């Protein structure tokens, strides 16, 4: 169902009402982190993600077989004639994410790293 280090993979998550929501994610794992990139293609998807992020983060933790110390969640918004990256941070209590906060990734080096990672992973999958 989920393939690591490849291209964006569609997954079904449940929102806070228990309804199924399709999302596209890409996972890159190394020795110390599991980076999950979730793609928002329009403003509706971005709003849905922000309203349900704690529920999605908990499910992604299980889906990626990770733990709260290793999991890093980045949202890739590709709409409004531009792309932007947002890093989601949580206060974790065990495996429960609380107090989610999205922080725009504004440093050029971070953009370059994540965009390079996305390019290399999607090129390798082709």
Q: What is the pLDDT along the chain (126 residues), one digit of tens a residue?
A: 344 445 788 999 999 999 999 999 988 888 888 999 999 888 888 899 999 999 999 999 999 899 999 999 999 888 767 778 899 999 999 889 999 999 988 766 665 666 666 666 555 545
Name the CA dihedral angle for 18, 21, 26, 28, rounded to a multiple of 10 degrees: 0
State the pLDDT at residue 28: 85
pLDDT value at residue 3: 43
pLDDT at 77: 86
Residue 89's contacts (CB-CB under 8 Å, 6 or more residues apart) are 100, 101, 102, 103
Q: What is the pLDDT of residue 123?
A: 54
Assess contact for 8 and 25: CB atoms under 8 A: yes
């Amino acid at each position: 169902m989920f393939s690591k280090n490849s291209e964006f993979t569609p997954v079904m998550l449940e929102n806070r009402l228990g309804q199924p929501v399709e999302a596209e994610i890409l996972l890159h794992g190394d020795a110390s982190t599991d980076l999950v990139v979730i793609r928002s293609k329009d403003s509706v998807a971005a709003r849905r993600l922000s309203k349900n992020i704690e529920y999605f983060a908990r499910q992604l933790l299980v889906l990626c077989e990770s733990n709260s110390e290793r999991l890093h969640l980045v949202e890739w918004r590709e709409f409004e004639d531009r792309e932007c990256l947002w890093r989601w941070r949580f206060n974790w209590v065990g495996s429960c994410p609380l107090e989610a906060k999205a922080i725009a990734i504004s440093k050029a080096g971070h953009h370059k790293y994540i965009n390079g990672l996305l390019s290399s992973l999607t090129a390798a999958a082709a």
